[in-house]
């Protein structure tokens, strides 16, 4: 059982390398239930990798990453961590939703089937019940009439909204967004951000890697600026954006704003 003050996600000295390149060089971070954390930073700063570590799509090399007080992807026995079995890993991932830059909708399934796939195959919910909930979710993301469409028949913005609904269908404790609007045409960005703002307002815990500084300023409860695998600066989004302390933050913000 977790006490009310315990963080939902806790990262301590998280390191990760791809071959010779160390992409995460000691990340320390707490995310509490209901937080909306935005992570900004130049490409190659390790923010997407960090996000992928949170649902163990990437393995960390050292440090500790915990969800609800339990190590992510590992089982602790005394002083050793052993990687979870495939089945336990899947069970763990089912409580963390993820939205990808390139949507990654299943192209051979309709929008509705994309949403019901997890509840039916993973949670074992009856197809009828799953479909009913999927329709509600589609309505929530403003796509009530699009359930029968295949991903290729939808615009990028619509696909991303289906992808959000797909993640929500698993009733996750935490939603991860990996640059959700970076692959979208500029005029489609707004509709996706609108859905994300709604989720934030409803109290969903979210970690969002993004280049949308405006969204971060309005919707985030906490903002992190990452560069070269470390957290350079963090705090209240308005404060960080309008009054950055570090040179690198200033340089990055002046380049993107």
Partner 1 sequence: MTRDTSPITGGSTVADGHTALTEADELADLRVERTPRPGRWIAIAVILVLVAMLGHALVTNARFQWSVVGQYLFNGFIFGGILRTLELTGLAMLIGVLGGIGLAVARLSENPILSYMSRLYIWFFRGTPVLVQVLILFNLSALFPRLSLGIPFGPDFISGSPNTFLQAFTTAVIALGFNEAAYMAEIVRGGLLAVHPGQRDAASAIGMTRLKSMRYIVLPQAMRIIIPSTGNEVIGMLKNTSIVSVIALPELLFSAQIIYSRTYQTIPLLLVASIWYLVMTTVLTLAQTRLERHYGRSDRSTATGVRSWSLLRSVRTSMPNRGATQ
Contact residues for partner 1, defined by CB under 8 A? 55, 57, 86-87, 90-91, 93-98, 100, 102, 104-108, 117-118, 121-123, 150, 152, 163, 166-167, 169-170
Task: Please report how close the Cβ of residue 119 comes to partner 1 at its closest, in angstroms.
Answer: 9
State how beta strands 222-227 and 36-40 pair: parallel
CA dihedral 233, 52, 102, 161 (to 10 degrees): -80
The three-class DSSP label of residue 250 is helix
Q: 201 and 20 in contact (C-beta within 8 Å)?
A: no
Task: Please report how close the Cβ of residue 38 comes to partner 1 at its closest, in angstroms.
Answer: 20
Beta bridge mates, 15: 25, 62
The three-class DSSP label of residue 254 is helix
Task: Please report how close the Cβ of residue 163 comes to partner 1 at its closest, in angstroms.
Answer: 8
- How far is residue 154's CA from residue 224's CA, in Å, rounded to a whole number? 33
Structure tokens at 66: 């915990």
Task: Please report how close the Cβ of residue 87 comes to partner 1 at its closest, in angstroms.
Answer: 6
For partner 1, the closer of residues 64 and 122 by Cβ is 122
For partner 1, the closer of residues 39 and 231 by Cβ is 39
CA angle in degrees (0–180, nearest 5) for 154-155-160: 90
For partner 1, the closer of residues 82 and 123 by Cβ is 123
State how beta strands 174-178 and 96-99 pair: parallel
For partner 1, the closer of residues 81 and 122 by Cβ is 122
For partner 1, the closer of residues 141 and 240 by Cβ is 141
Task: Please report how close the Cβ of residue 67 comes to partner 1 at its closest, in angstroms.
Answer: 14
For partner 1, the closer of residues 97 and 229 by Cβ is 97
Beta bridge mates, 198: none
Alpha-helical (H) ranges within the chain are 47-54, 86-93, 111-121, 127-140, 156-168, 186-201, 213-219, 237-242, 247-256
Task: Please report how close the Cβ of residue 212 comes to partner 1 at its closest, in angstroms.
Answer: 21
DSSP 139-174: HHTT-GGGTT--GGGS-HHHHHHHHHHHHHTT--SE
For partner 1, the closer of residues 37 and 169 by Cβ is 169
Task: Please report how close the Cβ of residue 256 comes to partner 1 at its closest, in angstroms.
Answer: 26
Structure tokens at 150: 């295949």
């Amino acid at each position: 059982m977790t006490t009310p003050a315990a963080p939902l996600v806790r990262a301590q000295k998280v390191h990760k390398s791809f071959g010779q390149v160390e992409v995460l060089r000691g990340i320390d971070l707490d995310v509490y239930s209901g937080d909306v954390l935005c992570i900004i930073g130049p490409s190659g700063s390790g923010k997407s990798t960090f996000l992928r570590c949170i649902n163990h799509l990437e393995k960390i090399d050292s440090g500790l990453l915990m969800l609800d007080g339990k190590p992510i992807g590992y089982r602790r026995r005394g002083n050793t961590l052993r990687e979870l079995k495939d089945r336990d890993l899947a069970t763990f991932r089912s409580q963390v939703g993820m939205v990808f830059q390139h949507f990654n909708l299943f192209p051979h399934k309709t929008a509705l089937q994309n949403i019901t796939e997890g509840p039916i195959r993973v949670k074992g919910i009856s197809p009828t019940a799953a479909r009913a909930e999927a329709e509600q979710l589609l309505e929530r993301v403003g796509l009530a009439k699009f359930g029968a469409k295949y991903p290729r028949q939808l615009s990028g913005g619509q696909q991303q909204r289906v992808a959000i609904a797909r993640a929500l269908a698993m009733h996750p404790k935490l939603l991860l967004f990996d640059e959700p609007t970076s692959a979208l045409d500029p005029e489609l960005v707004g509709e996706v951000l609108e859905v994300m703002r709604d989720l934030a307002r409803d109290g969903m815990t979210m970690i969002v890697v993004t280049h949308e500084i405006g969204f971060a300023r309005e919707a985030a409860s906490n903002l992190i600026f990452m560069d070269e695998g470390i957290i350079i600066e963090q705090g209240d989004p308005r404060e960080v954006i309008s009054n950055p302390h570090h040179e690198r933050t200033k340089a990055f913000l002046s380049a993107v704003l």
